[in-house]
Amino acid sequence: MQLSKHPIRSLMAAAIALAALPAMAGENPYSKAVFFGDSLTDAGYFRPLLPEATQGLSGQFTTNPGWVWSQQVANYYGLNKDPNGNGQNGDNYAVGGARVSVEGSGALGAIPSLKSQAARYLAANGGKADRNALYTVWGGANDLFAAAGAAGAGAPPAQVQGIIGAAVTDQIALVGALKQAGAQYVLVPNLPDVGITPQFRGPNAAAATAMSVGYNKALYGGLKQAGIEFIPLDTFSILREVTANPGMYGFTNVTGTACKINPANTTGSIIGCNPTTYVSPDAYQTYLFADGVHPTVTGHQLLGQYAVSVLEAPRLQQVLSHSAQTIGRSRADQVSNHLGARPADGLSWWGGVRGDLQRYDHADLYDGLAPAGLFGIDWARNGVVVGGFAGFGRLNADFGNSRGDFTQKDTTAGLFAAWYGDRVWVNGQVSYTWLSYDVNRKVQLGPATREHGGSPDGSNLTAALNAGYEFGTEGGFRHGPVAAVIWQKVKIDGYSESAAAGTLATALGYDRQNVDSTVGRIGWQARFDGGTVKPYVQVTYDHEFEDTKQASAWLQTLPELGSYRVPGLDFDKNYATAVLGARMDLFGLQGNVGLSTTAAQKRARDASIFATVSGSF
């Protein structure tokens, strides 16, 4: 089919737009993304060696122009996605045609192995791997092809197995070397099912699939046996699920190829595939494979989205414990502040309502609103107060960027004790909260949206101590320092996500969360003690003493590998809290209404509106 000049421009624009996953908002968990691999990961290693006139429309092993999965992952995290080599200085060292440890050469020159790629990176960085970077080691496909070629040429089985065994051994050693050099996070995708690719479909499909399965089992089994921690990516299962139901993902052809390699493609290679050599103008969208083994840019988009979901889903689970801690602090504040001064002797009651708002990364991480209620009974004598309280709340929240939602229910029972003098006051509390969640996580794969759910339970044990001193005269303006410590231990049960038929590859399991929070608070408060309405204000500096933990999960398609770890969410450890309110006497009752909000947080805001009413029995 002949394409005019303008349609080609349109195709280029569409392909590039299609390739771009939404960029991540907020604090970046990784300092850089470094890739070692072959043509599936190559971001354009050979592009400078192509004729200058064709470089804008070619250079990668897909339906050019566009991005492969590695570029999409790097782009999501706002990191460098450019190739490294042939005068290019990016962080993607992958080279089309590369084997794990065997050096090669092709029509465009030398093809450094994954081992050489990593060695060049480490040499340029003093032999050290950045512990905060995300590394990827994806290889073995070309070693598999070499083994298949040897078998086809009549090589003995031992030689064929030796090719595969050496590649597996060397890939394990490469991942281990990166870990030894300081790398924390190494993504190791397994091989796709070669048997479903156009090149191997037919009578050899079963044998090709068996080779992929054998390589993957040996690779992951060897890494686990060696005690090397890594992040698995099950490309074998995800691509099988896509080919089993292609229409759901926007594909109309998963058996043919989108590119004409010869004679229309003058390079004779997929690296030269561009809109002028597509089999149809929309082939980059409707075909899964560009040639016999390489995905189109749309296929790569799915792989990129899948990789991001595996990296980000464990981090989303930390939102659950963080929301429980945030509501726990707000609840502890309302309990502490239900008395504003020394109460009259005797038995009294109090009840309050509250609305807590949580919003992080401008809602790109999550946001939600939690109405809650509390009721308590106090007994006072000579400034000493003891009592108990109970409450219930419900948070409805959305994960940002259409990644799902969750509901958190909390039921609380606690004890309260205090002493109020003329100028000094101190109160303390301890409470236990029963937590329950309904979590719905969404994974976008092209036009398809997968949903995975779970309903873990949990708990929050909270203890808080508040104290203050006031200057000024009774019945007038009073002010003084305040201090507090709020300690919480949040536990959330581990669980396995639900998965509809044909969606297990994106379903994860999560370990039990056990998270501590210790917030120290110092500040100043001021109030008017006279009149029917008594306004007050309090401003504090808050500091979280506990460090962020790594997040973890496991792939349900590969449970034998156990859990992998990624960086945890980096919430602010230092911020300010301001409270503005008023106490009043009304119809023989005492009321307290106000607003509290955090400030000086990076792209975050916790706010609460509250109202409390109290009276005597």
User: Which two three-digit tokens encode residue 128?
Assistant: 């050290």
Closest to 372 (Cα-Cα) out of 358, 384, 356: 356
- Amino acid residing at 27: E
Cβ-based burial of 587 (10 A; exposed 0-12, middle 13-18, buried ≥19): exposed
On whether the CB atoms of residues 11 and 280 are closer than 8 A, the answer is: no
Paired tokens of 344: 């009259």
Helix, strand, coil percentages (3-state) for the chain, rounded to 5, are 30, 40, 35
Q: In sequence order, what are the beta bridge partners of 405? A: 398, 440
Residue 60 identity: Q
Catalytic site positions: 39, 291, 294
**For residue 15, which phi and psi values (nearest 5 degrees)?**
-65, -45
Q: Are 387 and 614 in contact (CB under 8 A)?
A: no
**Which residue in 82, 87, 107, 85 sits closest to 95, CA to CA?**
85
Beta bridge partners of 534: 583
CA distances from 559 to 168, 181, 397 (A): 21, 28, 29
* Nearest CA among 224, 209, 233 for reference residue 176: 224
295, 285 Cβ separation under 8 angstroms: no
End-to-end CA distance of the chain: 88
Is 325 in contact with 460 (CB distance < 8 Å)?
Answer: yes
Report DSSP state, residue 432.
E
- Burial class of 369 by CB neighbour count within 10 A (0 to 12, 13 to 18, 19+): middle
Phi, psi of 177 (to 5 degrees): -65, -40
Return d(Cα 110, Cα 103) in angstroms, integer.
8
Instruction: Identify the H or E element spanning 19.
Output: helix 5-19
Place of tokens 């109460």: 343
Which is nearest to 210 in space by CA: 144, 151, 303? 144
In the chain, the amino acid numbered 95 is V
Measure the CA–CA gap between 526 and 536, rounded to whole angstroms: 6
Q: Which of 223, 33, 36 is nearest to 130 (CA)?
A: 33
| Nearest partner of 139 among 207, 199, 187, judged by Cα | 187
Neighbour-count burial of 565, counting CB atoms closer than 10 A to its CB (0-12 exposed, 13-18 middle, 19+ buried): middle
Q: Which two tokens stand for residue 245?
A: 């139901």
Distance between CA atoms of residues 606 and 587, nearest Å: 33
188: closest CA among 148, 163, 221?
221
The span from the CA of 371 to the CA of 408, in Å, is 11
